[in-house]
Amino acid sequence: MIKILKRMGRLEWLLMLCSILLVFGQVYMDMRIPDYMSRITKLVNTEGSLVSDIWDAGLRMLLCAVISMCISFCSGYVSSMLAATFSRNLRSKVFSAVEGFSLEEIDRFSTASLITRSTNDVTQLQNFISRGFTMIVRAPISITVALSKIHGKHWQWSTLTCGAVVLVLCAVVFVMKYAHPRFRRMQFLTDDLNRAMRENLTGIRVVRAYNAEEYQEKKFSNANDILTDNHMKAQRAMSVMHPTMRFANNGLTIGIYLIGAFIIAQTPNYSDALDTFSEMVVFSNYASRILFAFMSLNMIFNMLPRAQVSAERINAVLDTKASIVDGPQEKGLEGQEGTIEFKNVSFRYPGAEGMILQDISFTAKKGETVAFIGATGSGKSTLVNLVPRFYDATEGQILVDGRDVKEYTQTALRGLIGYAPQRAVLFTGTVTSNVTYGAGGGANPENTEEEIRKAVEIAQAREFVEKMPGGYDADISRGGTNVSGGQKQRLSIARAVYRRPEIYIFDDTFSALDYKTDRVLRARLKAETAGVTTLLVAQRIGTIRDADKIIVLDEGKIVGMGRHEELMKTCEVYQEIAYTQLSEEELA
């Protein structure tokens, strides 16, 4: 908690100070009210006192109340402002921390949890700061001031007040033991609920197609029920609080008056009795305040641990160092542009057991096309994802432009690459915003329009883009759900082409295209972007047979490397793939 507060900026500290001062002011004003009450009771019961004196005391009392109200208003305003500013800054800190994460860290936290951490957990802290913080400051001040005011009055009253406080504390302890752990569990259960909801929404098509609504519903209502049950139990325990508080407070008032009545009955002197009476009124007022301050401890003890859990969860994100860090270099070696070299690279996913890639070595010269083929799960995507450093190789070295990828800044390295992932990703926006997405690369910002058209044309997307309402400014909905899978892939390719990179990485990008488009697209790419080195993952022999080098992967190992004709003679795995796809004539 303290650690997270240390992340506050100067403005926030200033607001916090303001808020503390306001609380002091408010308590001061509140605590003066009973004094005036006492004076008024005395005046009323004293013979010969003037109405104007009562008016005077009454008006002062009213003034105190009004000032206290104003301060309370300001204090609420300041603490909400503090909470809102703090949580805004925290959210953006979490966001930029997550942006800096490599896939390893994201896998470790899980997407659902990262989302709850940057939303729900931040809100939790915001609530705590806007409400709990002033309470934490107010309770001890109120208790101290009130105690000092009633100190040394009749011992019977003090004993009774102690009794009431003990009763309230018992309730607080009970609630702390029984309800608070449940409140704390709530955060983790919310993670679960979030996960269930996400899965349902992202997989909605499959859910519908397999009539699995009921199954999904069960999964969701499971998570929902657990959360509800937890909440109910927590609330049930909490419900003890209110009646206990009422009972203690009312009992205390009655008790004080009863005792007061006895004492007064035994006092022979009228003016002494009057003093006792006015003391009684004041005492019962302060005693109530003490009781309420103790009860607010309950709220604090409830909010604090939850805020604590949230703070820890957020701190965990903010303290995580990205495992992939920048090197110092902005450029590759002179004369080695466009080359890629793998030197005995092995790779294991963080936290996984076996090596997914083993001892991979190959080179791609400038302008060459190196193709990867192999069964699903043989490690093709994993291999090409090492080039833009989504993960770092476990062993061995990867050189781009003659330099180890770890020596580059990530921006510089990724600026060299035009990447089209296995699953095309489009962002909310327009065709143009998706094609020109991101920064870096060699795209010419002068004649964007022309470059976009060209990239879209090379990617064979022109025809459908121009048919879309609005053409290049046509809306792309979230996740690109308003274009087909193949169209999505083509826009994803256009994005890579527009960047004018030194290196293309096409991870199975052509599989979603029909044969003809596939062929035309590759021919256009070759003609228009000669000199760009290409790493090409594919399923079809047809897509890769013209490649300068074909690498056959099997269970993470290279089992064949060469041109199509050579592999047809030497590589058994390659032959198998080829025979299942090509007819005899095609092979000949």
Ligand X SMILES: Nc1ncnc2c1ncn2[C@@H]1O[C@H](COP(=O)(O)OP(=O)(O)O)[C@@H](O)[C@H]1O
Interacting residue ranges for ligand X, rule: CB under 6 A: 107, 349, 352, 356, 374, 376-382
Q: Residue 356 touches which of Mg ion, ligand X, none (CB < 5 to 8 A by kind)? A: ligand X
167 within 8 A of 244, measured Cβ to Cβ: yes
Q: Which is closer to Mg ion, CB of 347 or CB of 498? A: 347
Binding mask 410-439 for Mg ion (x = CB under 5 A): ------------x-----------------
Minimum distance of Mg ion from residue 515's CB (angstroms): 20
Q: Are 164 and 50 in contact (CB under 8 A)?
A: no
Site string for Mg ion, 47-76 (x = CB under 5 A): ------------------------------
Q: Quick one: 108 or 519, whose CB is closer to ligand X? A: 108
Residue closer to Mg ion by CB (options 379, 415) is: 379
Candidates 254-262, 379-387, 389-397, 542-550: pick the segment binding Mg ion (CB under 5 A). Answer: 379-387
Q: Which of 75, 142, 381, 529 binds Mg ion (CB under 5 A)?
A: 381
**Alpha helix ranges (H) inside 366-447:** 380-385, 410-415, 431-435
Rounded Cα distance between 228 and 224, Å, is: 6
Residue 352 CB, shortest distance to ligand X, in Å, is: 5
* Closest approach of ligand X to the CB of residue 383, in Å: 7
The answer to whether 489 contacts Mg ion (rule: CB under 5 A) is no
Kindly state the tokens that stand for 383: 């291999």
For residues 377 and 438, which CB has a smaller minimum distance to ligand X in the complex? 377
Q: Which of 371, 374, 278, 315 is nearest to 573 (CA)?
A: 374
- Please report, for the chain, how many H helices and E strands are present, in that order: 24, 12
Which residue of the chain is nearest Mg ion when measured via CB?
A: 381
Tell how far CA 542 is from the center of its chain.
44
* Residues numbered 223-282 forming contacts with Mg ion, rule: CB under 5 A: none
**Partner touching 288 among ligand X, Mg ion, none, CB below 5 to 8 Å by kind:** none
Given the rule CB under 5 A, which of 60-68, 83-91, 323-331, 378-386 is the region that contacts Mg ion? 378-386
Residues 463 and 478: their CA atoms lie apart, in Å, by 22
Q: How far apart are CA 141 and CA 72, in angstroms?
A: 15
Q: Kindly state the smallest distance separating residue 555's Cβ from ligand X, in Å.
A: 9
Residue type, 191: D
- Contact between 327 and 151 (Cβ < 8 Å): no
Residue 382: contacted member of Mg ion, ligand X, none (CB under 5 to 8 Å, by partner type): ligand X
Rounded distance, CA 505 to CA 136, Å? 57
Rounded to a whole number of angstroms, the minimum distance from the CB of residue 347 to Mg ion is: 14
Are residues 556 and 357 in contact, defined by beta-carbon separation less than 8 angstroms? yes
User: Rounded distance, CA 468 to CA 477, Å?
Assistant: 13
Rounded-to-integer distance, Cα 21 and Cα 307, Å: 23
Shortest Cβ 100–ligand X spacing (Å): 19
**First vs last Cα of the chain: how many Å apart?**
72
Given a contact cutoff of 8 angstroms between Cβ atoms, the answer to whether 64 and 12 are in contact is: no
Give me the least distance between CB of 385 and ligand X, in Å please: 8
Which pair of structure tokens corresponds to residue 146?
């009130």
Shortest reach from residue 509's CB to ligand X, in Å:
12
Q: What secondary structure letter does DSSP report for 380?
A: H
What number of chain residues touch Mg ion (CB under 5 A)? 2
Q: Which stretch binds Mg ion (CB under 5 A): 182-190, 374-382, 391-399, 476-484?
A: 374-382
**φ and ψ at 392, to 5 degrees?**
-100, 145
Q: Choosing among Mg ion, ligand X, none, which partner's interface includes residue 534 (Cβ < 5 to 8 Å by kind)?
A: none
Query: Which residue number, 193 or 538, has a Cβ lying nearer to Mg ion?
Result: 538
Q: Which does 257 bind (CB under 5 to 8 A by kind): Mg ion, ligand X, none?
A: none
**Please, which residue, 20 or 383, has the CB nearer to ligand X?**
383
Nearer to Mg ion, 286 or 506 (CB): 506
The least CB distance from residue 356 to Mg ion, in Å, is 11
- The β-bridge partners of 553 are 374, 558
CB of 422 to Mg ion, least distance (A): 5
Query: Which residue's CB is nearer to ligand X, number 34 or number 379?
Result: 379
**Least gap, CB of 506 to ligand X (angstroms):** 12
Task: Give the one entry of Mg ion, ligand X, none that residue 379 binds, where binding means its C-beta sits below a cut-off of 5 to 8 angstroms depending on kind.
Answer: ligand X
> Could you tell me if 496 and 506 are in contact, meaning their C-beta atoms sit under 8 angstroms apart?
yes
Closest CA to 115 of 206, 236, 23, 202: 202
Partner from Mg ion, ligand X, none binding residue 377, C-beta < 5-8 Å depending on class: ligand X
How far is residue 162's CA from residue 290's CA, in Å, rounded to a whole number?
10
- Could you tell me the two tokens for 462? 């022109």
Question: Which DSSP symbol is given to 118?
Answer: I
User: Least distance to ligand X from the beta carbon of 441, Å?
Assistant: 25
Instruction: Give dist(CA 399, CA 344) in Å, integer.
Output: 11
Q: Which is nearer to Mg ion, 68 or 382 (CB)?
A: 382
What single letter denotes the amino acid at residue 340?
I
> 547 near 369, Cβ under 8 Å?
yes
| CB nearer to Mg ion: pick between 302 and 381 | 381
Selection from Mg ion, ligand X, none that 479 binds (CB < 5 to 8 A by kind) is none
In the list ligand X, Mg ion, none, the entry touching 50 (Cβ below 5 to 8 angstroms by class) is none
At position 487, the amino acid (one-letter code) is Q
Contact positions toward Mg ion, by CB under 5 A?
A: 381, 422
